[in-house]
Structure 1
Amino acid sequence: MIRYFIRNGISVSVLGMALLLFGLLALFKLPIQLTPDVSAPVISVETRYPGATPEDIEQDIIIEQEQFLKSLPGLEKMTSTASMGSAEIELEFSLGTDQQENIIRVNNALAQVASYPENVDEPSIKTSTASEQPVAWISVRARPDADPPVNVRDAYDYIDDHIKPRFERLPGIASVRGVFGGTPRQMQVMLDPVKLADRGIPISRVREAIRSRNRDVSGGDLDEGKRRFNIRTIGRYETPTEIENTIIDIQDGTQVYLRDVGYARLGHAEMRTFIRQDGEPALAFGPQRERGSNLLVVMDRVQSTIRGLNEGLLSDKDLFLTQVTDSTLYVRNAVDMVRVNLLFGGALALGILMIFLRHTRSTLIVGMAIPLCVIGSFFIINASGRSINVISLAGLAFSIGVVLDASIVVLENIYRHRSMGKDPFEAAYDGTSEVWTAILSSTLTNIVVFTPIITLADEAGQIFRDLAIAIVSANVLALIVSILIIPALAARLLTRMPTTDAPGLKGSFQRLFGLATLAEKIYNGPLRSVLTWLMRGVAQRLALVVALLVLAIACLVVFMPKTEYLPNGNRQAIVGILIPPQGYGLPEISAIGKELERRV
């Protein structure tokens, strides 16, 4: 095979172009994120029960759902949270389980719950959890030049019904948290307890009267001559007046209407959260990314949607969206930093090669291995279902040295055979045939070291799997390039041997401006004496090994860095949390927030 590739330059070109082409195609398809996804498959079940206390939600919803969810296959952990008006259950499954099958099983389990209290919404199943931070927080504010002025908190229903779904439909978005800072509209029935007590009417009777009246009833169909008519009784309320005209009781033959003991109005639910931005009331919601999606692409879609809504639907409502946070800024900076280090490391390696090889063609031959192996590795990373992140890029950066080592070994041996006066093609074949087994054993050693990391299923395995895949793929491609492509390039480019007796600047550079002569003197002088002393006996060699071992341990003790799970990055953001005394109402907390705004 080695002789075939040396003799057939077209095959070498096709192989190199294929590595670059498939690598570049994979590079544009790979999702980009800061770090690999390191958590187990998680499904969140959210059930809303407006107005219910946490105690009622625990008894009426969470306990009922847990009875059927706790027996799901592969379930590792179940965490339930009951809050005012909402219940959330987070289900963490074993690593490697199919998320789509988990969703189907969760849905089937929830369908077995016999019944829920009245006014409970249908449970919603999400692949993201409340503990995950949205890719961005988006605020909704009224335009300052709106005439008449717009109360943004009254736009809650419009944002929830028309704007929020636009983000939920975006590819790569799992769900949207919020809307916060406002309340939905609701029909409210205000009763006078004194009037109810005077007539001896309990609130439960009023409630039952409204429930029995507020519905449409189908009466089937009726044949009349040649025609068939569908019969339907209209009873659902449409205005507050219709509610007030509801008969709630009959006392001494007199009908008692709801308007006799109270009234109905269209209002808003009780405010439990408030949002302020730049001293103005606002609403806020946050899109959450699907696991495995490209964070940068998702953010571009979110920003494009914001621009489109500001120019379209929201401009007619005197509202506008503002992106408050952007989680991609830190990711872009971190990934770009690793990319720059990767390019700088490759350029530095080529510079060192140029200095020591002192031959442009030889440096070019070895340098070809870097783009072929690095870009080709993206194809293997994509085929493994991984992403571009600081871990995988760091693995590629670590592999540059290994990639160059294999190519340098092959090229140096080819150079030695050329120095013996052999034909370039013959020298390429003989030089590669002598060292390919050593390169293979060296590559397999590196692969064996990192392959077990790929098979780890715990959290550490998820973090370092990208590193291991990047290093293994680069090593495999380095083996292919060094024994198939480098010999073919050397046979065609290494036709003239470099000399050190060239006149002028070229000759001085090839002699490293005298450094080569100095290095030769050092080798033939002190270094040779030390090596000769070490070869005299085993005691000298053992003494050197012990000394180096003690020095390594001393350096480890003195310069040992602090230990942490993952390094903490600087996101250049400050988050302040103020916890008011227990029992403070929303108006008092709002006043505290305004005072903080004034001082900050």
Structure 2
Amino acid sequence: MVPRLLAIPGVADVNVFGGSIKQLQIQVNPLQLQRFNTGLNEVIQAVSEAIRQRGSGFVETDNQRMTLQLTGLPVSPVEFEQLVIKREHGQNITLAQLASVGYGPEPPFSAAQIQGEAGIILMVIGQYGANTLSVSRRIEQALEALQPLFKQQGISLHPHLFRPADYIETSVNKLSGHLLLGGLFVLITLYAFLFNLRTAIIAALAIPLSLVGAIVVLLEYGVNLNVMVLGGLAIALGEVVDDAIIDTENIFRRLRQNHQSATPLPADQVIHSASLEVRGSVVYASFIVALVFVPLLTLDGIAGRLFAPLGQAYILAILMSLLTALILTPALSYLLLTAGNGRLSDPPLIRFIKPLYHNLLRWVIKHFRVVALCCFAICLASLAAIPGFSNKFLPELREGHFMVHTASVPGTSLQESLRIGRRLTAEFLKIPGVQSVSQWAGRAERGADTYGSHYSEYEIGLTKLNGQQQQAVSEQLRGTLAGFPGLNYEANTFLTERIDETISGYTAPVVVNIFGDDLATLDRQAQAIAGIMQGIDGAADIQVRAQPSTPKL
């Protein structure tokens, strides 16, 4: 499987956790070594000589050169047992007299469990800049092609223990649905206020045209249609229609007045003059609104990488709506509004609102000082409330998946880590909403990490839950982990960890580093500081990364 996955474009590496590799093992018996007066180095040297490849030269005839090839190297346990280690008192001492030879598993660096049962986990690492959705689909196609092999070997495949593309697809689908729903509400609102289907359609057309135009420009400049881009478009949804509404409403009003005039002008002339009336205000308003998001483009670091696409999408959508209002709206008004001039009175909703608005406006003008003081008091109250708001860099991400890291006492064996993992898995699966739990302990043989056998990582997949339900699962996970004394743990979502790693180099937002030249003192101080931090309100998942050294024999 590994070579097949590595051949997929966009895959950088595949780390393998668990399983065992078959190897031929020689278990030397110390008592037999003593009995036959043989040293361990003699056994090692004899075996090394037996399996060494030697250059044997060649034999040359008058017209041909033939390379000599040695055969007879031991390859099976029986052949190794017959290997002569040394000759003493006229007798051969063979390997069978000193050791047992047979096949066995290679000493493991890692182990893995799926739903509490032994398994093998493949961690597929993508290349920098690779499209997560495309790579995920290629991997799924490759696994689908290997299904006959899995069935033949009796292998059960769990391809969705952790799939980052799920969060992307869910987010994009939700944002797309919100865009459609927002567009529908805008159309209904336009019709309610204008009470004319044609004017509502003209104004509503600015939504898809502005958003599609912004997307085309972004794709042309190499910006992917990611969650932040869709977020910027969603924010701009209610504003891209403003320019078209102003233009359409003014044109519609002027056409009505022209129809009532004793000397009506040509429709195209009325539309042209009506558009010019509001042209300046439309342009200035669009640029003022767009400038609000310009600071997002000047952010550096991780904040700039995250929020720049949102600002770009928003600004482009606003500018595209301006172009739509300047170019397309007058043309559509000429085609759709000149055929029939519609009613000559205000829409029903406007007729209902106008008297209320006039009365309110008169009262505000009459009590201007009271209104100004109230507004000023509200502003002060708003400023005073700012410190009480959360000032997190990003909101809590709900990905439908959690990653749990645990670390026991250094020197804990893989078997003990798996035993703890089985107990944790059983408790995790009791939590409502938890669908799957997988664990890997130790490190991959070819991996970049250097974790010991005391370290484990769990991938916890959830069913379809809302934000509050996922938060409840997170709290129950931490409550379960807290019930295992001596176990350091950390529970986060995948993206939260990656962002924290990018900012601080660790999978946590706050890190305390202690420096010194005495490791024992550093260990004691680290535990003391961890105890102090446990008492801080809001602190969670406190770990001592540099734990005491492993036991030695």
Tell me the TM-score normalised to structure 2 length. 0.67
CA shift digits 1:160-185 (9 cap, x unpaired): xxx2332333334332232x232211
Choose which of 337, 342, 348 in structure 2 pairs with 1:498.
342
Per the TM alignment, residue 576 of structure 1 is displaced from its structure 2 partner at its CA by 6.9
How does 1:303-452 map onto structure 2 within 5 Å? Answer: 303-310=140-147, 312-327=148-163, 328-418=165-255, 419-420=257-258, 421-452=264-295
Alpha-carbon distance between aligned partners in 1 of 2:156 and 2:318, rounded to the nearest angstrom: 52
Alpha-carbon distance between aligned partners in 1 of 2:294 and 2:426, rounded to the nearest angstrom: 58
Alpha-carbon distance between aligned partners in 2 of 1:525 and 1:476, rounded to the nearest angstrom: 37
How does 1:97-496 map onto structure 2 within 5 Å? Answer: 163-178=1-16, 180-234=17-71, 237-249=74-86, 256-271=93-108, 273-278=110-115, 280-310=117-147, 312-327=148-163, 328-418=165-255, 419-420=257-258, 421-495=264-338, 496=340
Per the alignment, residue 130 of structure 1 pairs with: none
Going from structure 1 to structure 2, the CA distance change for 1:474 and 1:596 (only over 3 Å counts) comes to: closer
Matched, 1:511 2:347: yes
Higher relative contact order (CA 8 A, sep 6+): 1
CA shift digits 1:427-465 (9 cap, x unpaired): 333333344344333333344443443343301111101
| Larger mean Cα displacement after TM superposition, 188-197 or 199-208 | 199-208
Per the TM alignment, residue 592 of structure 1 is displaced from its structure 2 partner at its CA by 5.2
- Residues matched between the structures, number: 419
Alpha-carbon distance between aligned partners in 2 of 1:527 and 1:483, rounded to the nearest angstrom: 32
Per the alignment, residue 530 of structure 1 pairs with: 364
Alpha-carbon distance between aligned partners in 1 of 2:304 and 2:384, rounded to the nearest angstrom: 28
How does 1:61-80 map onto structure 2 within 5 Å? Answer: none
Alignment-mate amino acid for residue 119 of structure 2: A
Alpha-carbon distance between aligned partners in 2 of 1:218 and 1:435, rounded to the nearest angstrom: 92
Going from structure 1 to structure 2, the CA distance change for 1:176 and 1:208 (only over 3 Å counts) comes to: same
Per the alignment, residue 564 of structure 1 pairs with: 392
Counterpart contact for 2:5–2:14, Cα < 8 Å: yes
Alpha-carbon distance between aligned partners in 1 of 2:207 and 2:217, rounded to the nearest angstrom: 16
Alpha-carbon distance between aligned partners in 1 of 2:27 and 2:217, rounded to the nearest angstrom: 66
SS for the counterpart of 1:466 is: helix
Counterpart contact for 1:410–1:435, Cα < 8 Å: yes
Going from structure 1 to structure 2, the CA distance change for 1:440 and 1:247 (only over 3 Å counts) comes to: farther
CA shift digits 1:338-376 (9 cap, x unpaired): 222221111111111111112111111111111111122
Counterpart contact for 1:223–1:229, Cα < 8 Å: yes
Per the alignment, residue 551 of structure 1 pairs with: 378
Counterpart contact for 2:199–2:252, Cα < 8 Å: no
| Larger mean Cα displacement after TM superposition, 479-488 or 424-433 | 424-433
Alpha-carbon distance between aligned partners in 2 of 1:553 and 1:326, rounded to the nearest angstrom: 48
CA shift digits 1:219-249 (9 cap, x unpaired): 4544313222223334754223343344444
Alpha-carbon distance between aligned partners in 2 of 1:494 and 1:597, rounded to the nearest angstrom: 67
Counterpart contact for 1:216–1:235, Cα < 8 Å: no
Counterpart contact for 2:162–2:401, Cα < 8 Å: no
Per the alignment, residue 520 of structure 1 pairs with: 354
Alpha-carbon distance between aligned partners in 2 of 1:383 and 1:197, rounded to the nearest angstrom: 78
CA shift digits 1:380-433 (9 cap, x unpaired): 222343333332212101112321111122223433543344323223333333
Going from structure 1 to structure 2, the CA distance change for 1:280 and 1:416 (only over 3 Å counts) comes to: closer
Per the TM alignment, residue 549 of structure 1 is displaced from its structure 2 partner at its CA by 3.3
Alpha-carbon distance between aligned partners in 1 of 2:72 and 2:53, rounded to the nearest angstrom: 5
| Larger mean Cα displacement after TM superposition, 250-259 or 263-272 | 250-259
Alignment-mate amino acid for residue 173 of structure 1: V
How does 1:6-25 map onto structure 2 within 5 Å? Answer: none
Alignment-mate amino acid for residue 427 of structure 1: V
Counterpart contact for 1:213–1:235, Cα < 8 Å: no
| Larger mean Cα displacement after TM superposition, 521-530 or 469-478 | 521-530
CA shift digits 1:507-534 (9 cap, x unpaired): xxx632xx43332223443413533665
Considering only aligned residues, what root-mean-square deviation do their CA atoms show, in Å? 3.3
SS for the counterpart of 1:355 is: helix
Gaps (5+ residues) in structure 2? Answer: 259-263, 431-553
Per the alignment, residue 517 of structure 2 pairs with: none
